[in-house]
Amino acid sequence: MTNTFRAADSLYHRFFAHPEMVADLLRAFLDPAMLGELDLEHLRRHNTKFTARKGERRRSDVVWEIPTHQGGSIFVLLLLEFQSEVVEWMALRIDVYVGLLYQQLVSERKLKEADGLPPVLPIVLFNGKPRWNAATSLRDLIRLPTASSLWRFQPDMRYYLIDEGAYLEEVLEGSPYLTAILFRMEHPGNLEVMVRAARDVTAWFAKHPDGPPVKQLFHELLLAGLTRLQADPLPAIPDDLQEVVIMLTAHIEQWAKDYEKKALDYEQKGRLDGERKGGMEILLDLLQDRFGSVPDWVRSKLVEADLNTLKSWSRRIFEAEKIEHIFQ
């Protein structure tokens, strides 16, 4: 895992350590039918004891206990994934984690068989560049003919996927939820998109002054995004998020002009390089027709010459008695 993903892991863990952000995420991206069963006003963090294979605790896996309107609770297992690649065995990992969670609940709450087990909703929040294409059900990983009588004995754990990069900017921009703005700032196509998202963050907090205390986290996320997008040195970034947006709005037009100029320069350079390469190939063909084999020292001169020099040599080709005369 790269340093970039480690930073994102830490930042997202801080975002979703707040119950308001978890509730916002679920309201924005959970299936409405499931959402209707949950009492998101009273969710609380559940202290888990999951460990990875090497023994260290997984900081990015959090469990929230949410009351249901029918009575009882559901445990939302939220996995924040910041891998550079898709995790093919995620369904198996989910199955293991849910088993560990159930063991913990049975032990700590001294559950009896008559009590039964509470429902669990595993959610994978993926922030990577590629689109997620791994199996979302454990049964999809089990190699067994569909007609087999053994299927009823196979586990059927599945998880709910939220793949940030799969949502279009136009869809997210119309969303009223804070996590939708978070996704836009994590996957901006350009500086203008980032600035619009930052402007929407400040507008959101203006409408929700009692919202979750994550404004400083958005400031950090914005700074990280600007560092990725802006090749030139950044101006001094204010500490206040709203002041950053004002500063960016003033700079965005100049940045856009700079990018447009660079694009035109690259386009012109590419056109000249193409003309020079074409001129070199034509001159080489003419030299071969006129003098037969072309020595290596001539080929080296052709490769190093600019377009005007190639044109000058081409004008001499029919007057020169020897190939050396062309390059004198």
Task: In whole angstroms, give the CA distance from residue 74 to residue 226.
Answer: 39
Task: In whole angstroms, give the CA distance from residue 203 to residue 178.
Answer: 11
* Interval 52-65: pLDDT, tens: 555 545 544 689 99
Cα three-residue angle 321-327-328, rounded to 5 degrees: 85
Q: Which of 121, 145, 166 is the last residue of a domain?
A: 166
- Both 8 and 103 in one domain: the answer is yes
pLDDT: is 276 or 168 the higher one?
168
Does any domain span residue 225?
no
- Both 156 and 260 in one domain: the answer is no
- Check pLDDT > 60 for residue 252: no
Q: Which of 166, 196, 211 is the last residue of a domain?
A: 166
pLDDT: is 150 or 298 the higher one?
150
pLDDT: is 323 or 245 the higher one?
323
Average pLDDT rounded to a whole number, residues 202-221: 87
Does any domain span residue 315?
yes
Does any domain span residue 82?
yes
Q: Which two tokens stand for residue 112?
A: 């009896």
Does any domain span residue 153?
yes
Helix, coil or strand: residue 290: helix
- Both 156 and 255 in one domain: the answer is no
- Both 158 and 261 in one domain: the answer is no
Q: In terms of Cα–Cα distance, which of 146, 162, 154 is closest to 92? A: 154
Does any domain span residue 230?
no
Note the residue count of the chain: 328
Does any domain span residue 232?
no
- Both 144 and 254 in one domain: the answer is no
Torsion of CA 12, 15, 19, 23, to 10 degrees: -70
Number of domains in the chain: 2
Q: Which domain holds residue 141?
A: 3-166
Does any domain span residue 139?
yes
pTM higher than 0.85: no
- Both 138 and 263 in one domain: the answer is no
Does any domain span residue 192?
no
Q: Which of 166, 191, 219 is the last residue of a domain?
A: 166
For the chain, what percent of residues have pLDDT higher than 90? 27
- Check pLDDT > 90 for residue 122: yes
Largest separation between any pair of C-alpha atoms in the chain: 105
Confidence at residue 6, expressed as pLDDT on a 0 to 100 scale: 43
Long-range contacts of 177-182 (CB under 8 A, 24+ apart): 177/24, 177/25, 177/27, 177/28, 178/21, 178/24, 178/204, 178/211, 178/212, 178/214, 179/21, 179/24, 179/25, 179/28, 179/29, 180/28, 181/218, 182/15, 182/218, 182/221
Query: Please, are residues 60 and 81 in contact by the beta-carbon 8 Å criterion?
Result: yes
Long-range contacts of 275-279 (CB under 8 A, 24+ apart): 275/307, 276/305, 276/306, 276/307, 276/310, 279/307, 279/310, 279/311, 279/314
- Both 158 and 268 in one domain: the answer is no
